[in-house]
């Protein structure tokens, strides 16, 4: 390479580095800004929602505590009611134990005003004479059950909540209950952990709580950090301030965070840097690789052409003078095409990657939001079910207590007493029914009515109680008149003998249960859900495919299909675009028992960032391409000539170093032997590789290739690098990417199958993996072919060809499946189509089957010398459809496998020379066999081409005028014909020497001949000779016993 070209190469290399750095910085900064904008929006939305979540949790805790307290205040009031209404009340420990079991509490205690225990179900840890229990004594002044108070007994490591109601002016009943169930409920619904664990920021981000008083961590997904000093873990005072938004370091990890201060707690919304960087890095890596490939392609092509000009001399017709410079038209014509295609590639890849980045990020976020909604729906339903179950249990206990009271004092079945009882039980109404199902007492305005006999009516269910069923608990249902939620519970009244005697029914209106059940409604769950900028959630009813909830109320109730959605979009796990009322949304779906729930974001808000970044990349790439194009095509003027001065100097240097001029000339001629000029149909003259060279396993040397071939090699290398990188990333994705990354999302296949950006990306990934694996397998087969013999190379070539086509067919099949085509239907259609075109395709099938039979039956192998009809040569390749034969003159004969017939294979490891001899019928066969035994060793000595034998194969036929015997000898294939001639000569001489006649056509009137008779000794020797020859020639196998050249499968 000349000095000038070396300097140009160095300048271009520096330019590539500078361009890559500048483009990388530009793209990284813009991509970071886009990612941070998304993170800012996520943090802002979380900070806006957090106060409401905290307030809701506080209300939940208050309501849970109030509900819990009311239940046990009611139990205390009920016992006080029984004490004052002649229900068998006694101040004994046994009666208190009975009330404890009846009420389902931990302890029932009766104490006087001073706190002295008068009776108790079990020993109490509390000393009620202490002033700390004065809150219980408020029941004497208010006439109502006291508020609950909780006491923790450190020595017992146990806590109790106590509730009291006055029996009279001197005594009160106290109910004690372990608050563990209340504590668990509060922890589940109202604690910081219960609130923040369901909040996600970005893909894997979260909200951390830090105390504003002592700066300890109050909540973190990592439980080991709870209680740790936030400053010791990396936070600073400046960062832990209201409204802070920026980067922080915490516990050795970097986050993008926003801080909000609510009451006495800092809430830090944190997005891991890996979330922002991971997708950005993939996008940048792909764009920069394409950008580098485009620049490298243009530059290297210019260098290759310039190098050829130096070797062959500068043709003035290829240059255009531009002042002191000259423009290389040969380079310029193709460089401008390469540059333009490269520019388009950079633009398209940038736009494609931005689309992929935006949609995949939205898909991941949508999946997280749907999972969050699923958790919310599950959690709310669970809470509603638990609250319903708890309410059923508590209300049933109230009905049981009411029945207990009325069984012991039926006179209480009056409106006034039932009102008192309802107040004590904290229920709305109480009804008492007789054994005929007629209500005869109630504190309700509707005091008298009978149970319906219509199974569809609400009261019919309670007829079970008249048959002796202990209780009935109805599901809560809306009142027909007021619409308020009510629940009815009935418990059987019994006579002294246990027989049914009517029942008591309680009507309960629980506002707490009503509010909880209302939160289960889909509109309450989805209302307020925010997705990015302008996104929202909506739901479609599975029953009638109408919108059950939509932010635009005018859409609610409309049919989803009529609004623009498709039937295929109404399913679980859908993740793609939908159109509703002309608006295109990117939606991710979730299927519940009753609805298809979607989180959606308008396409405009998702894609508005693609154009600026694509334009910036395109402008930057265009500037770099123009600079590179000018540097590659322009150079300073220099003398023209047949050979460049640098080339001549290099040749002179080689000669001075002692190089043989004839060897240099031979090398140049060898280069031209494989490469030569051809005229294309367009008239363009280009270099091509000879036909014989194309089928070799040996590639062209770098110096033998043209500039275009070198460029093609570079492109192949770049594609291989890209494919290898993708393949490694696919195989080891768990090590390189987080589970919720864009890369893993695409590999997971959770996106909607169809012609979309995810399907295209998945197809590219599988294509890269298949290409790399195919390349590795075929290279391995090449190595194996170089180790094994001819048959091994034949098998390796066939397997290599099979792998290539099988991989292509399998990859196409997979890609069709990925883009949403029903491959089962496609295969069925292909079967029908194959029948229709069977006559047209029969030759293709015949070629393929014939090729397989040729290989596996071993008719010939690569390297064998064969003759097919009038064509002969050396087998170069046996493919799926054709066999290629080199005729020795540089021509490649391509024969369809189905046409390969009557093959003569002349390159077997061993062959046989056969000699058939005729003797007269009157000749003694025994004497002839004795002669052969005697002369065979002499024949072996005289004929050196014999490898084994000769062997006597016996009588092969009885002809019209002679007995035919056969002599064979094993030899090399190339010696077979000469050896047959030598064998015939030797046998003729032996027969002459021993006066053994060989019949020939003649007319004899009568001349009887005297034949020599075999002696007894000769007879014995002949018998022994035949047996020896049979044993010696046992391994000589000939399929048809004729020792001809064809149709023999095994010769050794």
Cα-Cα-Cα-Cα dihedral sign, residues 25, 31, 33, 36: negative
pLDDT computed for residue 128 by the predictor: 93
Higher pLDDT, 739 or 921: 921
Query: Of 82-91, 690-699, 863-872, which gets the smallest average pLDDT?
Result: 690-699
What average pLDDT does this structure show over 621-636? 84
Angle of helix 3-83 versus helix 273-312 axis, rounded to 10: 170
Q: Note the pLDDT tens digit of each residue in 718-769.
A: 888 888 888 888 888 777 776 666 677 777 776 677 777 778 888 888 888 8
**Cβ(586)–Cβ(362) under 8 Å?**
yes
9-12: long-range pairs with CB below 8 Å, 24+: 9/303, 11/631, 12/299, 12/303, 12/628, 12/631, 12/632
pLDDT confidence of 126, banded at 50, 70, 90? Answer: very high
pLDDT computed for residue 646 by the predictor: 45
Higher pLDDT, 507 or 637: 507
For the chain, which domains are there?
A: 384-517 (3.30.450.20), 519-607 (3.30.450.20), 705-804 (no CATH), 911-1032 (3.30.70.100)
Q: Note the pLDDT tens digit of each residue in 14-41.
A: 988 998 898 888 888 887 887 788 788 8
- Cα(966)–Cα(957) distance, integer angstroms: 9
Helix (H) / strand (E) containing 549: strand 547-549
pLDDT confidence of 7, banded at 50, 70, 90? Answer: confident
Query: Of 7-16, 456-465, 629-638, which gets the smallest average pLDDT?
Result: 629-638
pLDDT confidence of 665, banded at 50, 70, 90? Answer: very low
What average pLDDT does this structure show over 378-398? 81
Query: Rounded to 5 degrees, what are φ and ψ at 213?
Result: -95, -50
- Cα(294)–Cα(621) distance, integer angstroms: 10
Q: Note the pLDDT tens digit of each residue in 512-564.
A: 666 656 555 677 777 767 666 577 888 999 888 999 888 888 888 899 999 88
Angle of helix 757-787 versus helix 707-731 axis, rounded to 10: 110
User: Which phi-psi region, left, alpha or beta, contains residue 156 (left: φ > 0; alpha: ψ -120 to 50)?
Assistant: alpha
**Cβ(206)–Cβ(46) under 8 Å?**
no
- Cα(466)–Cα(468) distance, integer angstroms: 6
Bridge-partner residues for 432, per DSSP? 441, 504
pLDDT computed for residue 1035 by the predictor: 58
- Cα(781)–Cα(798) distance, integer angstroms: 10
Q: Note the pLDDT tens digit of each residue in 50-84.
A: 888 888 888 888 888 988 899 999 999 999 999 99
pLDDT confidence of 401, banded at 50, 70, 90? Answer: very high
pLDDT computed for residue 900 by the predictor: 78
Query: At a CB cut-off of 8 Å and minimum separation 6, what does 862 contact?
Result: 790, 793, 794, 797, 875, 876, 877, 878
Strand 217-219 and strand 206-211: the pairing is antiparallel
**Cβ(279)–Cβ(736) under 8 Å?**
no
pLDDT confidence of 794, banded at 50, 70, 90? Answer: confident
Higher pLDDT, 24 or 887: 24
Three-state DSSP at 32 gives helix
Q: Note the pLDDT tens digit of each residue in 947-1000.
A: 888 998 888 998 888 899 999 988 875 677 788 889 999 989 998 888 888 887
**Cβ(23)–Cβ(288) under 8 Å?**
yes
With 80 as the cut, is the pLDDT of residue 909 above it? no
Higher pLDDT, 805 or 770: 770
The terminus-to-terminus CA distance of the chain in angstroms comes to 58
pTM over 0.75: no
Q: What is each CA distance from 312 to 370, 642, 789, in whole angstroms?
A: 68, 7, 42
Q: Note the pLDDT tens digit of each residue in 695-709.
A: 454 555 666 677 777
Higher pLDDT, 480 or 652: 480
- Cα(153)–Cα(365) distance, integer angstroms: 48
Residue with tokens 């949304």: 585
Quote the DSSP letter at residue 327: E
pLDDT computed for residue 484 by the predictor: 75
With 80 as the cut, is the pLDDT of residue 582 above it? yes
Q: Which range has highest mean pLDDT (288-297, 482-491, 842-851, 1003-1012)? A: 288-297
- Cα(403)–Cα(423) distance, integer angstroms: 15
pLDDT computed for residue 691 by the predictor: 38
Which two three-digit tokens encode residue 456? 């569809």
pLDDT computed for residue 652 by the predictor: 52
With CA atoms as reference, report the closest residue to 280 among 620, 605, 532, 26: 26
pLDDT confidence of 1051, banded at 50, 70, 90? Answer: very low
- Cα(990)–Cα(1041) distance, integer angstroms: 25
pLDDT computed for residue 889 by the predictor: 63
With CA atoms as reference, report the closest residue to 661 among 672, 670, 652, 671: 652
Query: At a CB cut-off of 8 Å and minimum separation 6, what does 41 contact?
Result: 532, 533
With 50 as the cut, is the pLDDT of residue 298 above it? yes
pLDDT computed for residue 706 by the predictor: 72
Bridge-partner residues for 686, per DSSP? 678
- Cα(26)–Cα(24) distance, integer angstroms: 5
Three-state DSSP at 970 gives strand
pLDDT computed for residue 56 by the predictor: 81
- Cα(289)–Cα(311) distance, integer angstroms: 32
**Cβ(896)–Cβ(881) under 8 Å?**
yes
pLDDT computed for residue 69 by the predictor: 92
What average pLDDT does this structure show over 108-118? 94
DSSP track, 584-641: EEEEEEEE-SSEEEEEEEEHHHHHTTHHHHHHHHHHHHHHHHHHHHHHHHEEE----B
Helix (H) / strand (E) containing 305: helix 273-312
Share of the chain above pLDDT 90, in %: 23
Share of the chain above pLDDT 70, in %: 79
Residue with tokens 């580098």: 292
Query: At a CB cut-off of 8 Å and minimum separation 6, what does 772 contact?
Result: 720, 723, 724, 727
CA atoms lying within 13 Å on the CB side of residue 611? 5
CB neighbours (10 Å) of residue 690?
14
pLDDT computed for residue 228 by the predictor: 93
Residue 121, classified by CB atoms within 10 Å of its CB into exposed (0-12), middle (13-18) or buried (19+), is buried
């Amino acid at each position: 390479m000349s000095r000038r070209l070396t300097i140009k190469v160095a300048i271009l290399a520096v330019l590539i580095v500078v361009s890559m750095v500048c483009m990388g910085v530009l793209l990284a900064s813009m991509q970071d800004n886009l990612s941070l904008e998304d993170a800012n929006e996520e943090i802002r939305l979380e900070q806006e929602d957090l106060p409401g979540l905290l307030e809701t949790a506080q209300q939940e805790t208050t309501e849970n505590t109030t509900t819990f307290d009311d239940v046990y205040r009611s139990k205390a009031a009920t016992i006080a009611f029984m004490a004052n209404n002649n229900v068998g009340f006694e101040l004994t420990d046994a009666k208190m134990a009975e009330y404890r079991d009846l009420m389902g509490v931990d302890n029932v205690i009766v104490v006087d005003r001073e706190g002295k225990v008068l009776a108790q179900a079990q020993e109490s840890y509390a000393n009620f004479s202490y002033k700390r229990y004065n809150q219980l004594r408020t029941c004497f002044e208010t006439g109502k059950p006291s508020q609950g108070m909780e006491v923790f007994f450190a020595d017992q490591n146990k806590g109790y909540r106590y509730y009291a109601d006055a029996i009279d002016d001197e005594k009160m009943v106290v109910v004690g209950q372990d608050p563990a169930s209340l504590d668990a409920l509060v922890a589940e619904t109202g604690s910081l952990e219960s609130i923040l664990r369901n909040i996600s920021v970005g893909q894997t981000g979260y909200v951390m709580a830090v105390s504003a008083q002592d700066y300890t961590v109050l909540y973190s997904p990592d439980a080991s950090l709870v209680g740790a000093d936030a400053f010791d873990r990396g936070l600073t005072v400046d960062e832990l301030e209201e409204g802070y938004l920026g980067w922080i370091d915490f516990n050795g990890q970097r986050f993008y965070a926003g801080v909000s201060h609510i009451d006495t707690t800092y809430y830090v919304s944190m997005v891991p840097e890996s979330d922002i960087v991971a997708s950005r890095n993939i996008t940048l890596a792909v764009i920069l690789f394409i950008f580098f490939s485009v620049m490298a392609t243009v530059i290297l092509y210019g260098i290759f052409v310039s190098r050829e000009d130096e070797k062959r001399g500068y043709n003035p017709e290829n240059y255009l003078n531009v002042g002191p410079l000259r423009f290389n038209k040969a380079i310029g014509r193709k460089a401008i095409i390469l540059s333009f295609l490269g520019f388009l590639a950079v633009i398209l890849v940038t736009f494609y990657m931005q689309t992929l980045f935006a949609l995949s990020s939205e898909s991941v976020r949508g999946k997280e939001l749907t999972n969050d909604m699923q958790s919310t729906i599950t959690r709310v339903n669970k809470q509603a079910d638990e609250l319903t179950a708890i309410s059923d249990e508590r209300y049933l206990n109230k009905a049981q207590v009411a029945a207990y009271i009325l069984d012991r004092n039926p006179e209480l079945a009056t409106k006034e007493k039932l009102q008192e009882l309802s107040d004590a039980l904290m229920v709305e109404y109480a009804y008492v029914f007789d054994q005929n199902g007629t209500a005869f007492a109630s504190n309700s305005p509707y005091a008298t009515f009978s149970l319906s006999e219509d199974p569809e009516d609400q009261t019919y269910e309670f007829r079970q109680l008249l048959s002796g069923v202990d209780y009935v608990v109805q599901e809560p249902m809306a009142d027909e008149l007021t619409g308020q939620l009510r629940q009815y519970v009935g418990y059987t009244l019994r006579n002294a003998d246990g027989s049914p005697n009517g029942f008591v029914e309680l009507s309960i209106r629980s506002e707490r249960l009503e509010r909880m059940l209302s939160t289960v409604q889909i509109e309450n769950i989805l209302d307020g859900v925010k997705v990015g900028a302008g996104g929202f959630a909506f739901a479609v009813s599975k029953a009638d495919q109408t919108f059950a909830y939509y932010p635009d109320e005018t859409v609610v109730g409309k049919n989803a299909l009529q609004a623009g959605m498709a039937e295929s979009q109404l399913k679980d796990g859908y993740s793609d675009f939908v159109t509703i009322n002309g608006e295109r949304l990117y939606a991710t779906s979730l299927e519940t028992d009753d609805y298809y729930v979607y989180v959606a974001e308008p396409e405009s808000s998702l894609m508005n960032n693609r154009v600026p970044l694509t334009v910036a990349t395109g402008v930057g790439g265009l500037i770099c391409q123009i600079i590179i194009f000018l540097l590659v095509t322009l150079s300073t003027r220099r003398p023209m000539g047949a050979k460049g001065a640098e080339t001549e100097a290099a040749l002179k240097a080689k000669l001075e170093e002692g190089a043989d001029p004839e060897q240099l000339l031979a090398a140049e001629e060898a280069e031209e032997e494989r490469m030569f000029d051809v005229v294309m149909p367009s008239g363009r003259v280009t270099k091509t590789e000879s036909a014989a060279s194309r089928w070799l396993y040996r590639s062209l040397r770098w110096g033998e290739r043209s500039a275009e071939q070198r460029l093609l090699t570079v492109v192949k290398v770049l594609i291989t690098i890209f494919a290898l990188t993708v393949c490694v990333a696919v195989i080891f994705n768990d090590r390189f990417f987080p589970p919720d990354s864009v890369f893993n999302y695409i590999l997971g296949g959770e996106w909607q199958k169809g012609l979309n950006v995810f399907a295209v990306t998945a197809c590219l990934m599988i294509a890269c993996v298949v290409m790399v694996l195919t390349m590795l397998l075929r290279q391995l087969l090449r190595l194996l072919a170089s180790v094994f013999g001819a048959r091994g190379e034949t098998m390796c070539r066939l397997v290599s060809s099979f792998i290539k086509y099988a991989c292509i067919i399998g990859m196409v099949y997979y890609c069709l499946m990925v883009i949403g085509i029903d491959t089962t239907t496609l295969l069925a259609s292909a079967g029908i189509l194959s029948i229709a075109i069977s006559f047209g395709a029969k030759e293709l099938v015949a070629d393929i089957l014939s090729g397989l039979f040729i290989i596996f039956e071993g008719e010939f192998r690569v390297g064998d010398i064969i003759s097919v009809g009038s064509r002969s040569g050396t087998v170069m390749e046996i493919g799926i459809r054709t066999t290629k034969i080199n005729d020795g003159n540089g021509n490649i004969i391509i024969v369809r496998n189905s046409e390969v017939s009557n093959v003569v294979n002349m390159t077997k490891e061993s062959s046989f020379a056969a000699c058939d001899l005729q003797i007269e019928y009157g000749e003694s066969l025994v004497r002839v066999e004795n002669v052969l035994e005697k002369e065979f060793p002499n024949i072996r000595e005289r004929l050196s081409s014999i490898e084994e034998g000769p062997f006597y194969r016996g009588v092969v036929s009885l002809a019209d005028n002679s007995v035919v015997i056969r002599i064979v000898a094993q030899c090399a294939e190339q010696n077979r014909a000469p050896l047959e001639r030598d064998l015939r000569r030797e046998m003729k001489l032996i027969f002459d020497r021993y006066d053994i006649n060989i019949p020939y056509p003649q007319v004899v009137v009568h001349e009887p001949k005297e034949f020599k008779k075999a002696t007894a000794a000769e007879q014995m020797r002949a018998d022994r000779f035949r047996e020896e020859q049979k044993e010696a020639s046992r391994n000589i196998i000939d399929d048809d016993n004729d020792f001809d050249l064809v149709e023999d499968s095994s010769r050794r």
